Chain A
């Protein structure tokens, strides 16, 4: 604790370099946090869509119950689905009525015979929609197949791209922050050259001399990560009603504060590691103790 206090005291003596290093870390981890939230949000949206019926197959009017059972068994036997629900003509009518209850004109002269029976199929993985669609389409009893295949595919593609882009972008920013930390700590070693030389002459060990720089590096990281998490938290708190409104039934908000605590802990750990690694390289490069 004493060493941390001393390090903070030293930081206050030349606050601009400290600020530059901490802000560089903040920017990096701010972008990282945004990407993490986007990727997790994207995954929630994807999961929501995956849990909805993704393939709806409508049967021809003359299809017998036996044939329908056969088709359902065939779909289930693929092992790719989580749920297959048979919707009879009567159930289809009930759904139709429920959806159009405020428009009596659309309810007039519509009977169960008018609507086809169907099966609603939910798949385990979005990429299997195509295969299931092929299975049902191959049956002559099936009149029409509706599938949001393209939407899910696009969403999977976007999520993957976001993840990859995020990793590349954050890695680049992390490298820049890493170099800034090496530079700032290197400068501070140069500024304190006399002090280091005196400390060495009065019997300080290398570890004693190096310790404050390690603490400094870790502090930059922790400070940067904390600031970024705080900013993202405030931004999400402010914009959550708008985002939730846009997402409609897909429930993302409110995000539990525990999520941010875990995210902070994880990011602070990574940031402290980056800070310490930067300090290590700076010390290795610039600290010359005779």
Chain B
């Protein structure tokens, strides 16, 4: 369902972020994209959401080249994808409820439906009681769970998580990944998580794609990752 075909991405000054990447991820998979900083993990995720374009190659979702999609159809493409950003990207002036409701507002859903769906997702991530809090009033784990709730609220086919445990303590990090695992299993959502946290990767025994200097160095089912 998600396919990278000989994808190369070069930034300005011929700096290579990804080089000739071939990758095939089937629906409902949970994949860790691992590698040291600068290996191209974030670039790979940004390509999927069409935040950036590849220098060459194709990326297909459900057999459709997403870069052949006209710009006016990009919003529809993005609605199939939920993203948990490395820096959370929560709106500080909005409450937890309002942040999570954003993707549904964008879909112009009715307020009563938004209320119901947001409450259900907040319950799932364990934040129902903190719905009216602002992000500044939450702990690191709660902020991350809010970001996850926002990413899954519109029932995306694919969930992308870019270093979601980077600033979390090991216990909180484990609970966050457990939540992603639960979403993957219960909703059959395809999860791609970029990380360099070896402990987490080795604990969950999922498919591991190792990127090194923009190339796929290893791709193993129930793989392991030995950082630095």
Question: Could you tell me which A residues sit within 8 Å of B by CB distance?
Answer: 2, 13, 194-195, 197-205, 208, 290
Contacts and interface: CB of A to CB of B under 8 A. Distances in A.
A290 B51 contact: yes
B124 interface: no
A203 B106 CA distance: 7
B89 A203 contact: no
A198 B102 contact: yes
B91 interface: yes
- Interface range on chain B: under 10, 10 to 19, 20 to 34, or 35 or more? 20 to 34
A201 B83 contact: yes
Given A198-B91, A198-B102, A203 B78 contact: yes
A204 B75 contact: yes
A197 B72 CA distance: 16
A203 B150 CA distance: 12
A202 B89 CA distance: 11
Contact of A205 (B49, B75, B91): B75
Pick the 9 closest A-B CB pairs, nearest first.
A203-B79, A203-B78, A202-B103, A204-B106, A203-B75, A205-B75, A198-B89, A203-B106, A195-B91
Interface of A is mostly: helix
Contacts of A208: 75, 106, 108
B107 interface: yes
Given A13-B93, A194-B91, A201 B51 contact: yes
Given A13-B93, A195-B91, A201 B49 contact: yes
A2 B101 CA distance: 15
Contacts of A2: 111
A198 B103 CA distance: 9
Given A208-B106, A290-B51, A202 B91 contact: no
Interface in B107-137: 107-108, 111
B171 to A, nearest CB: 28
A203 B51 contact: no
Contact of B106 (A194, A197, A202, A290): A202
A43 B223 CA distance: 89
B78 A202 contact: yes
B62 to A, nearest CB: 16
7 contacts: A13-B93, A194-B89, A198-B89, A201-B89, A202-B78, A202-B154, A203-B103
Contacts of B76: 203
A199 B106 contact: yes
A39 to B, nearest CB: 46
Nearest to A209: B106
A248 to B, nearest CB: 60
Contacts of B150: 202
Contacts of B91: 194-195, 198
A202 B107 CA distance: 10
Nearest to A195: B91
Contacts of B102: 198-199, 202
Contacts of A290: 50-52
A139 B118 CA distance: 95
A194 to B, nearest CB: 7
A197 B75 CA distance: 12
